Amino acid sequence: MLRVRPPSSAVRLLDERDRGAVLAICDRDPVTNVFVSSRVRALGLEPGRLGAQMWGHGPGGRLESLCYSGANLVPVAATPDAVVALREKLVPLALVVTPNLPEAAALVDAPQAATEDEMVRQAERLLASGAKAVLMKGGHGKGAQSADLLVTATATVRFAAARIATGNTHGTGCTLAAAIAAGLAKGEDLSAAVRAAKDYVTAAIAAADHLGVGHGRGPVHHFHRWW
């Protein structure tokens, strides 16, 4: 009798936060021993939430895709060792990495890309590190459009949307990465998954001002299709 194991997930890091800042991080025991198993198969993984201690082992070679987001890779990735571990241990396992412009600059140790040509060149350096594809996110750029570039060994595909004037952009990177992973899990090809995720996040940002939740930088409106 064939038994199919249901999808699994692992809690690698716990953080305490509000909309203004990450207040505390727990990335050591008991999280390490209780929640993380080398047998877990991960479809979507956010390296900014892994923490420095486990990068390069733990999840191991079981990763199928890597969805990478977060404004500053969370504080641990500001350290040189964490950046090197991410670039050398996790990026080579990735189906797709999704850095914003500051993240990409940190990963390739270069100034932040100011043009789309520079975005492509930095993406190519990440491809050389072993990633199968790189989605360079243009949200930190300038201009009327926010352009994301999906770069592979054979093509570059541009996904652009009008830049939206709002302060409520909390969670955009995490939402985009999760939406891409969901599309891949449904069997979509990478380009289609990125397009659907980009459209979803753009609409969620456009509707964010309708929420009026709390204070500070507000979240995107994940449920904009229903209310």
Q: Catalytic annotation on 169?
A: yes
Sign of dihedral through CA atoms 99, 157, 140, 166?
negative
Q: Which of 70, 139, 173, 183 is catalytic?
A: 173
Q: Catalytic annotation on 171?
A: yes
Q: Which of 89, 174, 202, 218 is catalytic?
A: 174
Q: What residues pair up with 136 in beta bridges, in sequence order?
A: 149
CA proximity to 221, closest of 177, 184, 166: 166
Q: Which of 89, 98, 137, 198 is catalytic?
A: 137
CA proximity to 197, closest of 153, 165, 150, 130: 150
Q: Catalytic annotation on 58?
A: no
Q: Which of 48, 70, 171, 218 is catalytic?
A: 171
100-to-29, 104, 122, 147, 185 alpha-carbon distances in Å? 30, 6, 11, 11, 23
Q: Catalytic annotation on 174?
A: yes
Q: Which of 67, 98, 172, 175 is catalytic?
A: 172
66-to-55, 115, 223 alpha-carbon distances in Å? 13, 25, 25
Q: Catalytic annotation on 173?
A: yes
Q: Which of 169, 175, 183, 218 is catalytic?
A: 169
The contacts of residue 195 (CB under 8 Å, 6+ apart) are: 159
Q: How many CA atoms lie within 13 A of 9 on its CB side?
A: 5
Contact (CB, 8 A) for 49 and 13: yes
Q: Catalytic annotation on 130?
A: no
Catalytic site positions: 137, 169, 171-174
